[in-house]
Structure 1
Amino acid sequence: MIAGHASTHQPDPDLCRLIAKARHWFDQLASGEAKSVQEIASREPVFVTEISRVLPLAFLSPKIVEDILAGRQPETLTVRQLQRLRSLAFDWKAQRIQLGYPA
């Protein structure tokens, strides 16, 4: 077990749901199903600002998403932390460091 990682290996359902929401919203925009963030917000009970904060999570590295779905993310990687990110690093190695993985 790597220090700072969850020891139970149980996925956090809220964290998984947040990642799924980001992917779903991005897919709606990319496919043209939704023309804008405002259109998504009007369909769902959510503010435009929340969608704008969550959308970048659709670009998490595949390894980070895999870890989250398997419950192997650092203990400090929470829904609250992800929702409060001011920006998400583009580089996947930088994302790991930004989100609390060992360097």
Structure 2
Amino acid sequence: MKFTRHFGRVVRLVHRDGRAAALSSGSDHSALKLLVTARRWWTILREGEIRINELAAQEGVSASWMTRVVRLAFLSPEIVDAILADNLRSDVDGLVPTGADGVPAYWKDQRLRYLTAGAG
């Protein structure tokens, strides 16, 4: 059974377990886009030939923003699978993992924050 939940000006269909209902018109892929960006930036940074301040300037973002996004490159495989399957909790969007409290370091804590009750 589905019910609606209001998110500011957006209304989403949500299953009782908290999983967002898939919409035929496509869903918000912002989490996936950030994950791809995080992995690309991490690949560049780990080579050690450019500093984060320089790469951030090239990309047109702040070093602080880049640091928060790069943390997404270290999400647990379970969370990455949920992002790819568009199966994160309905209240998680692409920006939540990069909020002020950051991405939890422990995979167990990531599971609690990002996945529905029935997942994992």
Q: Same fold (TM over 0.5)?
A: yes
TM-score (norm 2): 0.73
Q: Which residue of 2 aligns with 1:6?
A: 20
Q: Which residue of 2 aligns with 1:52?
A: 67
Partner SS for 1:87 = coil
Report if the CA contact (8 A) 2:19-2:89 is conserved: yes
Partner SS for 1:88 = coil
Q: 1:71 aligns with which of 49, 65, 86?
A: 86
Partner SS for 2:95 = helix
The structure that is strand-richer by fraction is 2
State the identity %: 29
Q: Which residue of 2 aligns with 1:26?
A: 42
Aligned pair count reads: 102
Distance 1:24 1:42 in 2: 15
Distance 1:56 1:13 in 2: 18
Distance 1:76 1:100 in 2: 10
Report if the CA contact (8 A) 1:12-1:68 is conserved: no
- The alignment's C-alpha RMSD in Å is 2.1
Larger Rg: 2
| 1:46-66 alpha-carbon deviations (Å, 9 max, x no partner) | 111110111111111111111
Partner SS for 1:79 = coil
Distance 1:102 1:25 in 2: 31
The structure that is helix-richer by fraction is 1
Q: Which runs of 5+ in 1 are unaligned?
A: none
TM-score (norm 1): 0.83
